[in-house]
Structure 1
Amino acid sequence: MISVAVIAFDGISPFHLSVPTLVFGRAGVGKAVDWPYDVRICAQTPGMLSTAAGFDISVPNGLEAVSGADIVIAPSWLRDAVPPEPLLDALRAAHAGGARIVGLCLGSWLVAASGLADGREITTHWSAAERLARTHPDVRVRADMLWSDLGDVITSAGVAAALDCCLHMVRTDLGSRVAAELARGLVLAPHRSGSQSQFIPVAVPEAADDDPIERAMVWARTRLAEPIGLDTWSRSALMSRRTFTRRFRERTGDSPQQWLLHQRADRARLLLETTDDTMESVAADAGFGTAVNLRHHFHRLLGTSPAAHRALFRARTPA
């Protein structure tokens, strides 16, 4: 089992608390066969806690649940609250014991306050990024990413991005197929590329009944094995190349080419995990053309080789 400790506190948002229980605990979705995560909610002072929604919750576990956990999640934090030292000590001890420490949305404040991210890069909600950077100058704060995975420390932007981050962790642990099935049950996109820069306040676009960029994204996803030129792609959205590139970046936070590379890498990852196809076949089906290109882009985007990913996934898959 993979033990998951989720930290609650007085005044927490029930939505933020529900994110890790939905993904790792499959709350409301139904447990799958051999589901490996064991989720426990804990607090520095267990018992009845108030919530930001006006009702109370009962939390049975104290910080002892953090000790020995494989994953420790801070799903949020209060903007003006000073993190208590016993809670920070528990995070540091869990990290020293090998746990992955996760700060979702404003939970990244706990990560920063613990010192575990000093000299490193974390993500938080865009509205809190500047203040977090001022408060913890030893931490590099990103306001343009949905989530950041350093291996031992994982942080995300707010609300929906926390779901993206938790699904990413499931995909890392159990593979793309399991994450996709869970996402389908939660009615979520299995993987959402882009950045939170699209949510930072900008001029409000004109209302439209149809989203041509979304239509173009669907068009590309159904043709990943084919060469996709930017001119042809922009015509699928009935736009000029220049307008399409600008609108695409506004919509996703990525250039069309970078977004397409991520889609192809996801396709290759799924094929590596679920088939015995050769590297040349995987490369062709994912649109990379050759195994050499597949290895280059796969390593650049995911930090490992296709062969190593296939071997690692199969080592984690029960016989």
Structure 2
Amino acid sequence: MSIITNHSPPSVAVVVFNRFSPFHLSVPTLVFGHDTLGETFFDIKFVAGEEGHILSDMGMEIHTDAQLDALEHCDVILVPYWRTIDARPNDNLVDALRRAHARGALVVGLCLGGYVLAYAGLLAGKRASTHWELEQDFSQRFPEVTLDINALYVEDKGVITSAGTAAGIDCCLYIFRKYYGSSVVNRLARRMVVSPYRDGGQAQFIDQPIPVTTSDSRINMLMDKIRHDINQKYTLDELADSVMMTRRTFTRKFNKATGMSFGEWLTTERLNLAQDLLESTDLSIDQIVAKTGFSSVLIFRDKFKERYEVTPNRWRKTFH
């Protein structure tokens, strides 16, 4: 449902800084700009977040439309990146962001842009998201922020933060949907060749990475063998014998090599295969359970919902 209350398009300010990332600027440009759908849904402008020339590390230069005082009149203020997690934003920018939030503007930090909002104090006492690799650093710098490291984006009391890179697309589409609803966003997403909504509910989660290979050659060979026969039943004693280890040694070496217990790794592999089958085939849930090695449909559904926060059927409906 649209939240437009007048005939003027909502104004979006994209705040830019020296050493900008071209990709991170292209995301809000594609989503909120005129060219993608050939219609004007938002009035988008680039605002200089600091004085001087705005250059990327590759030598590209951007000419801004306005200075920081323009933030006083914008509906959405978007910080699409930040050059380094150690640098604090300048005082003028911090003050402008605080004033904008206080008057009710939607303030957004994509990827490292969330650090700018945190330095400005806008995330204190709120939930936020950032790239999973920065979890420890972000939590140490900003202990007053509740970090949801699984979320692709989080909105809390007029402030939105997102995880890295492609999650910025999800976040911008979410903002577009807040104003114009799903129908237009679906059309926009098709034009951009991206998913309009990467989950069945409000929470959107990134995949948990698992190791493809490790530094232990025997563990690698065993992992490859199991992947080819993932639907079989396995016991720790049988696996330990197959690599000529005691059960205790195998358990220790597998955990050291992969960072997981064998049971956690096997469940993750089976769930990853189930995702692929849900997306790329018309196999029934019973057939998928048989191919992935889960002992029952009920256990499969519970494990899938626990990991991805959506049901297998909802996943198929979104991605098939």
| Alignment partner, residue 276 of structure 2 | 214
**Deviation of 1:242 (Å):** 5.3
Mapped to 2, the partners of 1:69 and 1:3 lie a distance apart of: 5
Mapped to 1, the partners of 2:63 and 2:98 lie a distance apart of: 26
Q: Are residues 1:38 and 2:91 paired?
A: no
Please give the TM-score of this superposition, normalised by the length of structure 1.
0.68
1:68 to 60, 64, 73: 73
Q: SS of 1:67's equivalent?
A: helix
**Deviation of 1:13 (Å):** 0.6
| Alignment partner, residue 109 of structure 2 | 103
1:183 to 184, 189, 197: 189
Mapped to 1, the partners of 2:91 and 2:300 lie a distance apart of: 46
* 1:86–1:5 CA distance, 2 compared to 1 (3 A): same
Q: SS of 1:52's equivalent?
A: coil
| Alignment partner, residue 294 of structure 2 | 241
Q: Are residues 1:130 and 2:136 paired?
A: yes
Q: SS of 1:116's equivalent?
A: coil
Q: Which amino acid aligns with 1:241?
A: F
Mapped to 1, the partners of 2:147 and 2:310 lie a distance apart of: 25
| Alignment partner, residue 171 of structure 1 | 177
| Alignment partner, residue 156 of structure 1 | 162
* 1:122–1:243 CA distance, 2 compared to 1 (3 A): farther
Q: SS of 1:204's equivalent?
A: coil
Q: Does the 8 Å contact 1:68/1:97 carry over to 2?
A: no
Q: SS of 1:73's equivalent?
A: strand
Mapped to 2, the partners of 1:55 and 1:249 lie a distance apart of: 47
1:196 to 206, 213, 220: 206
Q: SS of 1:105's equivalent?
A: coil
* Structure 1 residues 272-291: aligned runs within 5 Å: none
Cα RMSD (Å): 3.3
Q: Does the 8 Å contact 2:289/2:300 carry over to 1?
A: no
Q: Are residues 1:16 and 2:69 paired?
A: no
**Deviation of 1:133 (Å):** 1.2
**Deviation of 1:80 (Å):** 2.3
| Pair member with larger Rg | 2
Mapped to 1, the partners of 2:12 and 2:103 lie a distance apart of: 14
Q: Which amino acid aligns with 2:289?
A: S
**Deviation of 1:111 (Å):** 1.3
Q: Which amino acid aligns with 2:25?
A: L
* 1:241–1:107 CA distance, 2 compared to 1 (3 A): same
**Deviation of 1:127 (Å):** 1.5
* Structure 1 residues 41-120: aligned runs within 5 Å: 41-45=46-50, 48-77=53-82, 78-120=84-126
* 1:179–1:232 CA distance, 2 compared to 1 (3 A): same
Answer 1 or 2: higher relative contact order, Cα 8 Å, separation at least 6. Answer: 2
Q: SS of 1:159's equivalent?
A: coil
Q: SS of 1:217's equivalent?
A: helix
Using the aligned pairs only, state the percent identity: 33
Please give the TM-score of this superposition, normalised by the length of structure 2.
0.68
| Alignment partner, residue 254 of structure 1 | 308
The runs of at least 4 aligned residues of structure 1 exceeding 6 Å deviation read 205-208, 243-250
* 1:260–1:103 CA distance, 2 compared to 1 (3 A): farther
Where structure 2 has 5 or more consecutive residues not aligned to the other structure, the ranges are: 1-8, 214-223, 229-271
* 1:83–1:260 CA distance, 2 compared to 1 (3 A): farther
* 1:102–1:243 CA distance, 2 compared to 1 (3 A): farther
Q: Are residues 1:121 and 2:127 paired?
A: yes
**Deviation of 1:215 (Å):** 3.4
Q: Are residues 1:231 and 2:286 paired?
A: yes
